[in-house]
Amino acid sequence: MRIYLTAAAVLLAGSAAFAAVSSYAVQAPAAPAAQHKHLHEGIGTFEGVVTMLAPGMEGQTNTAKEVITAHGPFFLKSDFTMPMGPGMNYEGHGVFGYSVASGKYTGTWIGNTEDHLAIMEGDYNEKTGVMTMRWMAPNMMTKKLTQHHSETTRTKDAYTMTFFEEGTPIWKMEMKRTSKPVEASANEADKDK
């Protein structure tokens, strides 16, 4: 008798848990916040230059390309490429969003020349127009985890991003938009009507 009661209790508990998960799954999705819409203004293809600023190293400049696409209304995906020498390209991939719960911009980044997954968090200063993102990553020379951050300013069709390691500037990217996705262009055309 006890076995049957225990089995019934497990079934009831399982049914209650399933009902709770099911009701959560069918709720209407959250509406994008103003911060999500702000991020989506950066959708498009960008081309430009990356300049090394690290102390004691020559100011090497490379061409670069970044394709930024939407992943639904909340996130952006970034695919970044830059030649690093004969037969070798740097390829980086990121996902960026905004967490209403934490009130922070968020992001992740991986590259084909490192084994570290960067997990970022940051803020946007409306007065200065600067987006600051912070993360831990290996130092280029010692390989020890150190504090990094980036500061990005955008205009309508360009952006400048400077990377810092423990407060010292190490890279600067200056990118210009070369094209927008069809969806973004169509949405802007609809606004003019």
Supply the range of the domain harboring residue 108.
Answer: 34-191
Of 53-57, 99-103, 128-132, 176-180, give the lowest mean pLDDT range: 53-57
Beta-carbon contacts of residue 50 (< 8 Å; ≥ 6 apart): 61, 62, 63, 64, 82, 171, 172, 173
Residue 184 lies in a domain: yes
Q: CA-CA distance, 134 to 188, in Å (whole number)?
A: 32
Residue 181 lies in a domain: yes
Number of folded domains that form the chain? 1
Residue 25 lies in a domain: no
Q: How confident is the model at residue 141 (pLDDT cuts 50, 70, 90)?
A: confident
Residue 96 lies in a domain: yes
DSSP state for residue 16 in the 8-state scheme: H
> Which residue reads 């939407």 in tokens?
70
Residue 81 lies in a domain: yes
- pLDDT tens string 62-99: 999 999 999 999 999 999 999 988 889 999 999 999 99
Give the CATH number, domain containing residue 142.
2.40.128.20
Q: CA-CA distance, 34 to 179, in Å (whole number)?
A: 23
